[in-house]
Structure 1
Amino acid sequence: MNGSSPLLAVQEVTLTFKNVAALSRVSCSVQKGSITSLIGPNGAGKTSMLNCISGRYTPTKGTIRMGDRELSGVPAHKRTSFGLARTFQNIALFRGLSVLDNLMVGRHSRLDYGLLASIFYLGKARAEEDRHRLRVEEIIDFLNLSPYRHQIAGHLPYGVQKKVELGRALAAEPELLLLDEPMAGMNLEETEDMARSILDINEEWGVTVFLVEHDMGVVMDLSDHVIVLDFGRVLASGTPEAIQNNPKVISAYLGDDDALYKGR
């Protein structure tokens, strides 16, 4: 973490639904190269924040910038070209497609040939397809999904499906990866495997990660920086150590002094 301009800057974001504020004047930032976690009780506004960043929701007020680009008014499907990708709390795979084909869908924003070439599968389309296939194969190997590459995604174990969704997001070659509870519903072995994958993505591929997660053990082990939301407002922000010892966090969110260390 350095003093340079953040990769993601959220300023005074407010989001209301029928006059009820899901987010209220939230300001936070994510430094390039970091793993930053967003935590808080159920209903604190964590997923709403990710939805604002990814373009699923439009903030009532405030600004969201990625680098020098203002994201307001940019449709969700175009934010991928800005270097933004995400996973979802509930698995959103194409369940009838293979693992390989699901990851190829993640390359869609990188396609560089026209309709005619795609219809007749002309030379440029064939070359592009081969290039994207090679990249997807790299991701499959990187995430240890090789045994499943040709299997139907919807038939795979839950933990493997979560890895496939991570791979599909990674296939877009994001600069910033938004992860919405990637360990939700996993057993201990699957959680540790996913945590290692996130660390490798950050350290080996240089991808900045903005993570929403309830598992405090994972959050404290992985994060460079932690932001705490409570009732749609920022309650605290700092290093994992500072958050562990913040009396407001302990009182309002965790409830007791040992809660941050209980993790799994």
Structure 2
Amino acid sequence: MAYLDVRDVTLTFKGIAALMGVSFSVEQGTIASLIGPNGAGKTSMLNCISGRYTPDGGARGACSISLDGECLLSLPAHKRTELGLSRTFQNIALFKGLSVLDNLMVGRHGRIDYGLLSAILRFGRTVRLERRHRRRVEDVIDFLNLSPYRHQHAGRLPYGVRKRVELGRALAAEPKLILLDEPMAGMNLEETEDMARYILDIAEEWGVTVLLVEHDMGVVMDISHKVVVIDFGSKIAEGTPDEVQANPDVIRAYLGTEDAAFMGR
């Protein structure tokens, strides 16, 4: 059984179709990339998986999105987080007035299971849980090399570091599946290479399944186990990077002709 299973998802906005009967799967512990031209529906798909959008249905009147066999469609976004789903955003969505440390602690919010009274009185169990939350955040800080910035306000950080903080906040939630929406957008070559390495380590060392939306085809083809291609809201290809690069429909969608070679790198 696929770890993430998307079946027949359709999404419309006032009659305009953003997604039309899209299906694909992602295996546990792998990196899958969702690619396509601008406006193809990639971020809309991430929003359907994370709970920000509710799909209309599918070509047969029903659709399904499941994580590790658990149907997500009836669950609000915060319940999906509790199941192990986390994400980053295309536009950085940090709390600019908070420190890096505090932004990462926000990622622990869905894991806090004590109430306001316990937090005020600081019972023994509450203290133990707070230490556990802090240890997780410290692990993320070390992993992403954020120690020099831990007490700096997020809004004052360089762009590439803010992208790392955004990734760190998603990791702080202890995800089993992480959705990354253009994590390399706006980065220079060195920052892009660093981010690619972090994503590989997230899957290989932390055991987190990754679904990535990205326009940098060199990165996509280098780090992905599977690539899913969407064009005008419909899936046109799914397979390994080599299979997708050789697919005539993908070549046509990106370059407008089947005769041109698909420039994956």
Q: TM-score range by the shorter chain?
A: over 0.9
Aligned to 1:192: 193
Distance 1:208 1:260 in 2: 27
Aligned to 2:157: 156
Distance 1:53 1:115 in 2: 31
Alignment of 1:36-115 (within 5 A): 36-61=32-57, 62-115=63-116
Contact 2:246 2:262 in 1 (8 A): no
Specify the SS of the correspondent of 2:65.
strand
Distance 1:152 1:89 in 2: 20
Query: Are 1:15 and 2:11 an aligned pair?
Result: yes
Specify the SS of the correspondent of 2:17.
strand
Contact 2:141 2:147 in 1 (8 A): yes
Contact 1:175 1:207 in 2 (8 A): yes
- Counting matched residue pairs gives 258
Deviations 1:140-190 (A, max 9, x none): 001111111111111000000000010000011111000000000111111
Quote the offset at 1:119 in angstroms.
2.3
Aligned to 1:231: 232
Quote the offset at 1:253 in angstroms.
2.0
Q: Identity of counterpart residues, as a percentage?
A: 69
Query: Are 1:261 and 2:243 an aligned pair?
Result: no
Regions of 4+ moved over 4 Å: none
Quote the offset at 1:120 in angstroms.
2.5
Aligned to 2:174: 173
With normalisation by structure 2, the TM-score equals 0.95
Aligned to 1:27: 23
Distance 2:131 2:86 in 1: 22
Deviates more, 1:49-58 or 1:249-258: 249-258
Give the residue type in structure 1 aligned to 2:79: K
Deviations 1:203-259 (A, max 9, x none): 001100000000000000010000000000000011000111111111122446344
Quote the offset at 1:124 in angstroms.
2.2
Aligned to 2:60: none
With normalisation by structure 1, the TM-score equals 0.95
Give the residue type in structure 2 aligned to 1:261: G
The CA RMSD measured in Å over matched residues stands at 1.1
Contact 1:52 1:59 in 2 (8 A): yes
